[in-house]
Amino acid sequence: MKDSISGWYRNVIRNPKYRWWIIGGSLLYLLSPFDISPDFIPIVGWIDDGLIATLLVAELSAWALERLKVRKGEEPVQAVDAPTSGFTSETKTVDVNAVSAE
């Protein structure tokens, strides 16, 4: 169960179509005076800001690495949504010519 939840979360976070929402939302949260835990409480108040800042840095670095790969001419790696059944319409198939051996 843990692997499926963390895999889903990783795929959603790393999906390029959500990247700008995450960057904008995290910037808005960090610049906003309202927090989940107030900053005047030592350590506890800084944990949420640290997690959001980590998420922001991770997204910005992923974006920068993707841009660098595109500039070098490499194919960027893109996350895909986690399939629910294991098979999607984009599943690659291999045709095999089978013969019976008697």
Residue 67 pLDDT more than 70?
yes
Q: How confident is the model over 26-56, as pLDDT tens digits?
A: 899 888 888 888 877 888 888 888 888 998 8
Tell me if 49 sits within 8 A of 39, measured CB to CB.
yes
Structural domain boundaries in the chain: 2-72
pTM over 0.85: no
Query: What pLDDT was estimated at residue 75?
Result: 67
Q: Residue-wise over 14-53: b if at least 16 C-beta within 10 A, else e? A: beeeebeebeeebeebeeeeebeeeeeeeeeeeebbeebe
